[in-house]
A and B are shown apart, each in its own frame.
Chain A
Amino acid sequence: MEPMKEVILMSKLKAITKKREFRTFLFLVIIFVIVGMVNSEFLSINNLQNSLKSSLLYIVLAIGLTFVLLTGNIDISVGGTLGLSAAVSGLILKNGGSIIVAILVAVLIGALIGFINGIGVAKLNISSFIMTLGMLEITRVIQVIYTKGQWVENLPTTFKQISQVKIFGLNLLIIIVAIGVILVQMYLSKSEKGRYFSAIGDNTDGAILLGVPVQRYKIYSFVISGICAAIAGLIFASQIGFISTTAGMGIEMTVIASAVLGGVSLSGGVGTVVGASIGAVIMISINSALVYMKIPAFWNDAISGSLLITIVVADALMARRSNKNIKKERLRARVLKPEEVVTHAHAK
């Protein structure tokens, strides 16, 4: 029995190494090893935890965005949702409201914005890119109007401390988010309803034929993305301690880049939450990696931009190559006895 188990284990390991997420993870490890060789302090537990801590809100945003991307849509409005919900709940906290109320209000705002996005995309057939781009602009303006153009500062310390709580030396939020990623991944890949999302993105007409409530699940995906953006806004407020009028500006592009780095396809149907999260950690680690390698911070965007392009193009080329091989094998399978066919052709 023992060798059998080993074989199964080996084949399982092999399957894992073939996954796109594994390659992303390998890439992350390589970055850490290279930077670690230049400056060993980069690999200290403290820095690793800091890297994870600063990528937390990006991971949360990436989770939500993955739902939307799986259905073949895109959500550009996450930065605006993050800013607005953080500002509103920040003002509640500042005026002496309880933390629970602030969190509930933030989640409600996120859900509402997501719902409006979803209605626009699923019911009114507006392209998701345009719908959420417009929504981004609208939420930003509403945030400025609501806060009267001022920063929300002096948040209560009890709220700020939430991001500092530690259990067994590990940041509590890191543990919660890590568990969240695993649970969402299980839901998306194992449960029937969870698989609806990628089914819609893979083949919408097919999903309709299978009885998947396509419109409803598209709306769900935007609502989930909105809620995740609101939670990210709360993490942002707790970690930074104040909310500027430009909070979360440009964050959407980083998150989309993270998801793409992690192997989530923008055309839908393909991708995992785990991959998107690893992508987010890579995008954020580049920041601190530059600091530890004593490279000026202004290289940041150029490096992440070229990295994104390189990885995506390499990925596309690799995918095409494997597709070609599959096609070849399929063609070979159609010919039962290749030699006979050849001799037959010659005889003719």
Chain B
Amino acid sequence: MHMLSKIPKWNLALVLVLVSEVIIFGLINPRFWNVSILLGSFNDFIGIAVIGFFVTFVMITGGIDISGGSIIGLTSVVVGILSQVVGINIWLSILLALVVAGLCGLLNGILIAYGRVQAMVITLGGMLLYSGIAVVIVGLSGVSASEGISGFSQSFSTIAYGSVMGIPNSVILFVVLLIIAYILLHLSKYGRYIFLTGINQEAAEYAGINTKLVILSTYVLSGLSAGFAGIMLTSYLGSARADFGGEYLMPILTVVVLGGTLITGGKGGVIGTALASIIVGFLQIGMQMGGLSTQYIGLATGLLLIISVAILSVSDEFKSNVKRIVRLKSYKG
């Protein structure tokens, strides 16, 4: 009982939602209860989840990063051009693409932390810039933009399609990055710094924390995670295109916010983000299996986003109101 009370209530609610989701979709279509199908579906939302983990970091510091989707496209194009057009070894190309993704995050971070410009504006400009650079690279290389760069080696496609002891690589990557994110955010000193910066940047600064460096680092991590997502997506789809990840903005923010992270900063966690990304991911397959058109998925996630935030903000207010009433009564009594 003591252990159970330590789990945040929001995460408990998310687990309940996830379990009931699995039960309901399974009743509609028993194929949904096939474990290998569920694990295989991780490939469809691994990008959203991975970026979501580290956008959680950014959001806890009080910032926001909407450039992740376009960094996916840029990484994908860089890997494709380097390995297929320039002819560099695929693994070296991947490494270089990750460096590019990290640099995108670094640029965001420097301008936001040291230039002290609003995160929303910078990452909006970054979103245009990074996808713009990807389009320029494709345009200059003379590759058809609509077909993309294909012809990747077999070893590259095993990144997404391979498995270890029956567990798909995407699930392993999900778990590994979740553990890394969890340790960084919830078990390390660095994580405490992130929370303190988000709760009160000035106070954290006076306490001797280099808050600018902390903020900068969260954007680098977020950019890097988008790089990982871009490589996974390129491997999964077997081609590199500049417009990959273009529609990721909404689901990324949905999983972070649905996971219980406050958009105003100071509160949140990666476990919630992980649970929320599985909920949203399973929702998509469940709706497809249930015979619903994919159009309705947007409606479902949109409603989920608004309702979860409404519940989170209203429940806070509700709690404080109840506390005030109880206190008043105890004074009178």
Residues of A with Cβ closer than 8 Å to B?
74, 120, 124-127, 129-131, 133-138, 140-142, 144-145, 149, 253, 256-257, 260, 266-267, 296, 298-306, 308-309, 312-313, 316-317, 320
Residues of B within 8 A of A120 (CB): 306, 310
Residues of A within 8 A of B118 (CB): 266-267
A33–B39 alpha-carbon span in the complex (Å): 58
A125 closest partner in B (C-beta): B313
Cβ 8 A contact of A299, one of B120, B127, B136, B301:
B136
Q: Is the CB–CB distance between A257 and B125 below 8 Å? A: yes
A305–B71 alpha-carbon span in the complex (Å): 13
Q: Is the CB–CB distance between B116 and A316 below 8 Å? A: yes
Shortest CB–CB separation between residue A112 and chain B, in angstroms? 16
**B160 CB within 8 Å of chain A:** no
Cβ 8 A contact of B314, one of A125, A133, A257, A299:
A125
Residues of B within 8 A of A302 (CB): 128-129, 132-133, 135-136
Interface of B is mostly: helix
A260–B125 alpha-carbon span in the complex (Å): 10
Q: Is the CB–CB distance between B128 and A133 below 8 Å? A: no
A296–B253 alpha-carbon span in the complex (Å): 33
Cβ 8 A contact of B250, one of A136, A266, A304, A306:
A136
Residues of A within 8 A of B117 (CB): 312-313, 316
Cβ 8 A contact of B132, one of A133, A141, A300:
A300
Residues of A within 8 A of B223 (CB): none
Contact (A125, B317) CB under 8 Å given A120-B306, A266-B118, A266-B121? yes
A134–B263 alpha-carbon span in the complex (Å): 14
Residues of A within 8 A of B250 (CB): 133, 136-137
**B264 CB within 8 Å of chain A:** yes
Shortest CB–CB separation between residue A306 and chain B, in angstroms? 5
Cβ 8 A contact of A256, one of B111, B124, B296:
B124
Q: Is the CB–CB distance between A127 and B129 below 8 Å? A: no
Residues of A within 8 A of B296 (CB): 141
Contact (A301, B306) CB under 8 Å given A133-B253, A266-B120? no
Cβ 8 A contact of A138, one of B124, B131, B132, B302:
B302
Q: Is the CB–CB distance between B314 and A129 below 8 Å? A: no
Residues of B within 8 A of A141 (CB): 295-296, 298-299, 302
**Most chain A CB within a 10 A radius of its CB, from B127, B264, B302:** B302
Cβ 8 A contact of A257, one of B128, B132, B136, B302:
B128
The 28 listed contacts between A and B (C-beta, < 8 Å) are A74-B120, A120-B310, A124-B313, A125-B317, A127-B263, A129-B263, A130-B257, A130-B309, A131-B306, A134-B303, A134-B305, A137-B301, A138-B299, A138-B303, A141-B295, A141-B298, A141-B302, A142-B299, A253-B124, A253-B127, A257-B125, A296-B139, A298-B145, A302-B135, A303-B132, A305-B127, A308-B125, A312-B121
Query: 10 closest Cβ contacts across the A-B interface?
Result: A305-B129, A301-B132, A302-B132, A305-B128, A137-B302, A298-B139, A309-B125, A308-B125, A134-B306, A141-B299
